Amino acid sequence: MAVESFNDAHNVEADPDIFGAVNLDAFTGNTPARHLLKLTPGVPKDGRYDELAAIFRPVFAKIAAGASERDANRTLPFEPVGWLNRERFGALRIPVAEGGFGASLLDLFRLLIELGEADSQVAHLWRSHIGFVESVLQLEDVTQRHRWVERIAAGQIVGNAYTERGGNRLGTLNTTIAKNGERWILNGEKYYCTGTIYADWVAVAAAHPTRAGRQIAVVSTQHSGVKIFDDWNGFGQQLTGTGSTTFENVPVDSVLPEEQQINDPESAIFQLVLLAVQAGITRAALNDVRSAVQARTRSFSTGTGVPVREEPQVLQLVGEISGTAFAVDSIVLAAVAEIEVALADASLSAAERFAVCELSADRAQAIVQPLALSAATKLFDGLGASATATSCNLDRHWRNARTVATHNPAIYKSRIIGDYEVNGTAPQQLNAIGDVGAAQATGVP
């Protein structure tokens, strides 16, 4: 169901003017309306986005064609990642003069939402890469910036290994880097390593022998001391490579500058990627309920006796899901636009920029999560018990949305926003997730 609706909605070759003006005189009672609300609401159409979308939409359609089957069979999407990489999806934000596409942050996220609509898991696995690219673009070290821009422009992908599964005290890390002769060497074990199984490089949060707090060391995933495991056992987003990675005496390629670890807006970018994934899931739920209602002939004795596609309450429900998708898109891209402005505003201090970015992402997260979950649940109300058949795999939308909604946990975001609104308390950056002892929990040093 989702495959056909996605391909139809994005069939640019068959209908190059699919987003153009509508001739209302051409409509009759039997003429199906085209789904024209694919351009994100509230975002003006511009030639640059259209140019980028023309490159990637055919790839998104191919990815959509196998999304449900990959989810059902737990088939890791190495091939879809390869399709995107051939078009250098990871180089969207790299300036044109340096070999990339020169996309704005807003255009990148509009494309990411479309990718999330095609397959939420493929969109999610780019999370670490997208965050790393934004950090690279802010590097003041010209040599290091050039090295990473060149690699990213060539199509190399960066994964993530920030979090440890347990056993480390809150704010500390057991993973370490240490000097061995002239080289830095990395040792440790990580979990939640989203995207790393598909990546050429991995950014690792580690403890430094002389620097305080978390440091980011980047190593090659091809080194024999790096072992990547597909052992993520969540009930959703199972194909994102969010499993374990171990590092044994792995040479460090780069350590990001220490000043970049303080008030870096990367965490807001990370969160916005997840919200773009939620927007894609909501769109996909709309696609599936729409196509299922259009095709359904079987009805209920408790209905009004008309075909399901004309049933007023079913149409109302589909309309509500459509409105939810519209709202989620709008909220996510409003937050992205605010962050893009903040990143370019030289008058902001690093701490102010971090606060603006965090609060924008937090506000969006506080509202988007329940909306996405409601759409993924509501679609079943319009289709009945037959829609719960495992062969339909419609539950993947709820499973994936519910899994994404657990990240960074959303329950804390409204409190952080409220504390800022009422008391002017700036959001705090935490270096590392870890275990809290009794002394820490009570505030005792």
pLDDT in tens, 183-209: 999 999 999 999 999 999 999 999 999
Residues in the chain: 445
The secondary element (H helix, E strand) that includes residue 248 is strand 245-251
From CA 144, how far away is CA 141, in angstroms rounded?
6
Q: Read off the amino acid at residue 216.
A: I
Beta strands in 34-146 (DSSP E): none
229 exposed, middle or buried (CB, 10 Å; 0-12, 13-18, 19+)? Answer: middle
For 387-417, letters b (16+ CB in 10 Å) and e give beeeebbbbbbbbbbbbbbebbebeebeebb
User: Hey, what are 233's tokens?
Assistant: 């056992």
pLDDT at 158: 97
pLDDT at 299: 66
CB-CB contact of 125 with 157 (8 Å): no
From CA 114, how far away is CA 58, in angstroms rounded?
11
CB-CB contact of 236 with 326 (8 Å): no
- Counting as low any pLDDT under 70, the low residues of the chain are 1-47, 167-168, 259-263, 298-305, 430-445
From CA 250, how far away is CA 253, in angstroms rounded?
9
Which residues on adjacent β-strands are paired with residue 186?
Answer: 177, 250
pLDDT at 284: 97
From CA 266, how far away is CA 355, in angstroms rounded?
12
* Axis-axis angle for helices 127-137, 142-153 (nearest 10): 140
CB atoms inside a 10 Å sphere around CB 74: 9
* Axis-axis angle for helices 47-65, 78-86 (nearest 10): 150
pLDDT at 414: 93
Domains, the chain, with CATH or none: 2-156 (1.10.540.10), 160-261 (2.40.110.10), 266-438 (1.20.140.10)
Q: Show contacts of 299-306: CB within 8 Å, 24+ apart.
A: 300/384
37 exposed, middle or buried (CB, 10 Å; 0-12, 13-18, 19+)? Answer: middle
pLDDT at 72: 96
User: Hey, what are 251's tokens?
Assistant: 């040479």
Number of alpha helices (DSSP H) and beta strands (DSSP E) in the chain: 14, 8
pTM of the model: 0.87
pLDDT in tens, 206-262: 999 988 888 999 999 999 999 999 999 999 999 999 999 999 999 999 999 876 666
Q: Read off the amino acid at residue 111.
A: L
Mean pLDDT of the chain: 85
